[in-house]
Amino acid sequence: MVLFKVSRIETTPFDGQKPGTSGLRKKVKVFVQPNYLHNFVQSTFNALTAEKVRGATLVVSGDGRYFSKEAIQIITKMSAANGVRRVWVGKNGLLSTPAVSAVIRERTGVDGSKATGAFILTASHNPGGPNEDFGIKYNMENGGPAPEGITNKIYEYTTTIKEYLIAEDLPDVDISTIGVTNFTGPEGPFDVEVFDSASDYIKLMKSIFDFESIKKLLSSPKFTFCYDALHGVAGAYAKSIFVDELGAQESSLLNCTPKEDFGGGHPDPNLTYAKELVARMGLGKSEPENEPPEFGAAADGDADRNMILGKRFFVTPSDSVAIIAANAVEAIPYFSAGLKGVARSMPTSAALDVVAKHLNLKFFEVPTGWKFFGNLMDAGLCSVCGEESFGTGSDHIREKDGIWAVLAWLSILAYKNKDKLQDKLVTVEDIVRQHWATYGRHYYTRYDYENVDAGAAKELMAYLVKLQSSLPEANKIVKEARSDVSNVVHADEFEYKDPVDGSISSHQGIRYLFEDGSRLIFRLSGTGSEGATIRLYIEQYEKDPSKTGRLSHEALAPLVEVALKLSKMQEFTGRSAPTVIT
């Protein structure tokens, strides 16, 4: 039994420790500055009520990116000094963000304890490595991200912090070996439990989906499958779920060894960064050597995002959540009693709205940030939700969940093919095209302008707000750019009043809504670590079944032209093209 003592270390505030929608993200070189991480962790402890810290059980793990191992030891020593009773760490410090949420909600420790919160070490889909990004966020006892009331408090404490508490003499814990290490401090015992990263999460997935029916699909010689973890933490789950539980071939797993630098890649599951998967699925610039698989999927660094692909076919995240909602009750046992409601983030296409109307479901449009869905779920108002930024999930946890989305799609494919495995397979593309025939198609794209000068980005947004005060002027610009685009009938800055707690979130994105149901949305994103990212969302609704098969970029070309003229994008940013198009 190792005894430790508590040290009070003097410190001074750092500028800019304001957590965004997904915590604090900065370059590694910022985080490794003396006291930088310590200040943020202590400010988090200061912002929480005493019963959430003293005697509490906290989870400390993440996506395994560079600097995670050091950060886990620092947070463990600070937890001990702040009166935390025990810390749970996933083996090798690895836990996906959805698995952390599941662990908080579902896991019971060896001594009967339950977790009340978590420090998650991730910068999500941002690159990792000594010159790349690191991040930290705090999740609450419901398994979801800390609400704004808490993150604002954390930030306030970071601006006035004078000291932090740490058990400097506490030895580093071996996080590569499962087991419990016991210590004693001034306030009594303190334990660190290292546990298997995957078992709690897999148990939860098996309670949601019919693994036997998915296994039957995967065993069919007609059905081929490919999963790309992009060297993120999803790799810690992929073999256990897809190979051991569901019987897929190990050769169907790509980049499933978690790496501190994600293999030098950008762990963002989209058509730009998941190059190897995209090529294998027949969506690359050249024809693949082998026949593409029927189904492909990718995950981001912390495995909360997903990309779904069919053979030579891309499913937009907006369509994906709508299709899951439309088929959930039939195909997924967890939802067999019906959906409580559905929700999407404001920039996500209105494909889900049409499904909700058709199925007479409660529907909510919320700001970007998973915590808004969490509130609805805690109140029993929402079962399935999603964001256009490759995030999909349900009320089984309080985070988006990449592997859950893949299992949901496999469940839908298994259901549609349950009596057809001897005949022609119902494919991903068949399911999507049938959905468009029933509900109409929302042509959709997103332009990201990354690392734009922050001042220029703010000027562009201010200009767009000012333009909203005169719709005739806005429509003059629209018609000058493209006479075939319909008129703007409403323009505003999106504001959300939470139906559960009444809180109001303002300035959540600039909207231009057109007469024919089309939309242009402009947002500044807080998920990058340097400069500003301007996101432009372009959506065209098409009800006519004879027009739902057009190429997306052709259908959207007129609106794209209007968006760039309306915003003076090149004039403000100096950019003639976006960094990424999704």
CB 446 within 8 A of CB 388: yes
Instruction: Give the number of other CB atoms < 10 A from CB of residue 282.
Output: 19
Picking from 108, 37, 117, the residue whose alpha carbon sits closest to that of residue 77 is 37
**Collapsed DSSP state (helix, strand, coil) of residue 60:** strand
Length of the chain measured in residues: 582
CA distance 533 to 453: 9
Cα 507 to its chain centre, rounded Å, is: 21
**Quick check: 394 and 386 in contact, CB under 8 A?**
no
Distance CA 174, CA 159 (A): 34
Q: Which listed residue (22, 124, 213, 529) is catalytic? A: 124
Q: At what angle do helices 199-208 and 402-416 cross, to 10 degrees?
A: 30
Q: Are 224 and 217 in contact (CB under 8 A)?
A: no
Looking at residue 27, its amino acid is K
Secondary structure (3-state) at 245: helix
CA–CA–CA angle 466, 469, 474 (5° rounding): 85
- Look at residue 344 and give its three-state secondary structure: strand
Distance of CA 506 to the CA centre of its chain: 22
Distances (CA, A) of 7 to 35, 71, 87: 14, 18, 19
- State the Cα–Cα distance between residues 123 and 148, nearest whole angstrom: 19
H/E/C letters for each residue in 430-493?
A: HHHHHHHHHHCEEEEEEEEEEEECHHHHHHHHHHHHHHCCCHHHHHHHHHHHCCCCCCEEEEEE
The pair of structure tokens assigned to 326 is 């439309």
Q: E-assigned strands of 28-127? A: 57-62, 86-90, 117-121
Cβ burial, residue 482 (10 Å; 0-12/13-18/19+): middle
Q: What distance in Å separates the CA atoms of residue 282 and residue 288, rounded to the nearest whole number?
A: 6
**Catalytic residue flag (residue 124):** yes
Selection from 511, 514, 461 nearest residue 485 by Cα: 514
Active-site residues, by number, are 124
